[in-house]
Structure formats: structure tokens, C-alpha cells
Amino acid sequence: MQDYIKFVESIKKKTGIDLALYKEAQMKRRLTSLYEKKGYKNFVSFFEAIDTDRDLLNEFLDRMTINVSEFYRNSKRWEVLQQKIFPKLLADNKRLKIWSAACSTGEEPYTTAMVLSNHLPISQISILATDIDENAIQRAKVGIYPERSLAEVPLDMKNKYFEKQAPFYKIDDTIKRAVSFKKHNLLLDTYERNLDLIICRNVMIYFTEEAKDQIYQNFSKSLRPGGILFVGSTEQIFNPTKYDFVTEDTFFYRKM
């Protein structure tokens, strides 16, 4: 059997993660450079090592997940969320159920809490934030970031919700308390229901078309009618009606 296919099967058995649902060329390239750097000759010998070495397993997970994120990523989209989407959602319901899916190290759900704090007292905000990567979630819970992650944060928010601990910035506890983090695999685990807003950005690009299709179906079932899906700025859905979505604004879809 082909080296990579064997590796994919072994990883699935060991971790539940199905690499076959990620774009193959991209994933192979990233993992090949890791195993070569570590001195392995092929995927099968790399897996044998991963199987008994927890640190190497973590390095593999780190390489496959790609955790890059930043606060207010594509800031114009967050203005749309603040000025158009939240007022509409809040007109229906003051207690919004919000999910930041594939939240990485927390910048996205914390940004969501900051943006929503323009409409609601922070004590009334509660956001579920999930990722497949437990290390990323741990870092999110710590909430300490390098300055470059804050480049797009509006100054009033930076002053209000960050404390400088040079050379880093620490997110305020009031914002932290608004977000609960949980491990969740979008390709395997069950999804919550009756949500008002799902934010899922910059992860669909890594998945195969089949996997994307399944995830959009699941998101559609998770949203209440009128609920919104907010996607990344390279991730338009080309056939939104297939999932009972209509375009609400660029990169925002409303469940019919």
C-alpha cells in the first residue's frame, strides 16, 4: 500500500483525525518537510516513531493544524458584523448562542466578544469556542499575545481590554470569562443546535470538497432559521442555496 495512505490510516486509528479529508498535496508537503527534518525516510517510519513518542505526536499535530490567527482578522468584515449583523440578530433575541469553530489560539472568539460588547454588557455575552488542537486551546485560555496579533485591534478596544506585559499583551479577564473553550473535531464530533451565529474562518481552505460539503450541511442544521454563518475572506460558498443559505453580505450567509 502507498506510504501516505498507510500513514493516514494509522493516524486515524490512533487519534481519530482523518487526514484523507484534508487536501492531500498540501498536507503531504507540510508533513514531508517535518519528517525529513526529523530524519525519517518515509511516512511509515515516521508513524512508528509518532506511535511511541508523545512529543513527536504533538509536533505532528502542530504541523498539521496551522494555528495562525489574529485579532480582527480582515477588520472590514468585523465592522459588518458589528454594524449590520449583530443589530439584526439582537432584534430577534438578546441571548445569542454563538460558536467560534476552529478558533485556534482564541483571537477570533475574543474579537467576537469585544465586537458584541459594543451592543451588550460583557457579562451577558457567552461564546463557545472550539478547535481540534488542545495546545491551541491551552494557549487561548492563557490569553497572552505578541503585539503583531493586535495590529488590527481598534485603539479604544486595545486600551480597554488588553494589559501590556512587555513584549506581550494580556487579554482582560472580563473578555476571557465570556468565552468557553472546548475540544471539537469538525469532521467527527456532533454539532450544537439552535445557534444564532457560527463563525468559521480560514479552516475550510484545508479540507477536500467532500469534507466542506459535509461541514456546510452540518452548519446549516446547527443554525436556527435566520441564524448567520460568517466565513473567511477567501471562503465564499459558491452554491449557498444548496445548504439553505442566502447571502446576507460578503462572507455572511443567513439560514433560510
Ligand X SMILES: C[S@@+](CC[C@H](N)C(=O)[O-])C[C@H]1O[C@@H](n2cnc3c(N)ncnc32)[C@H](O)[C@@H]1O
Question: In terms of CB distance, is 213 or 226 closer to ligand X?
Answer: 213
Cβ atoms of 54 and 13 closer than 8 Å = no
Give the nearest distance from C-beta 235 to ligand X in angstroms.
Answer: 10
> Which residues in 54-67 are b (16+ Cβ under 10 Å) and which e?
eebbeebbeebbbb
**Rule CB under 6 A: which residues touch ligand X?**
65-69, 73, 102-104, 107-108, 131-133, 136, 185-187, 201-203, 232
Give the nearest distance from C-beta 67 to ligand X in angstroms.
Answer: 4
Question: In terms of CB distance, is 44 or 57 closer to ligand X?
Answer: 57
Question: In terms of CB distance, is 52 or 190 closer to ligand X?
Answer: 190
Cβ atoms of 181 and 126 closer than 8 Å = no
Question: In terms of CB distance, is 133 or 196 closer to ligand X?
Answer: 133
Q: Collect all residues with Cβ–Cβ distance below 8 Å to 233 and sequence separation of at least 6.
A: 73, 74, 77, 201, 251
Sheet holding 127-131, edge to edge: 179-183, 127-131, 98-101, 195-200, 223-231, 252-255, 245-249
Give the nearest distance from C-beta 65 to ligand X in angstroms.
Answer: 3
> Which residues in 196-212 are b (16+ Cβ under 10 Å) and which e?
bbbbbbbbbebbeeebb
Question: In terms of CB distance, is 68 or 246 closer to ligand X?
Answer: 68
Give the nearest distance from C-beta 15 to ligand X in angstroms.
Answer: 11
Give the nearest distance from C-beta 92 to ligand X in angstroms.
Answer: 25
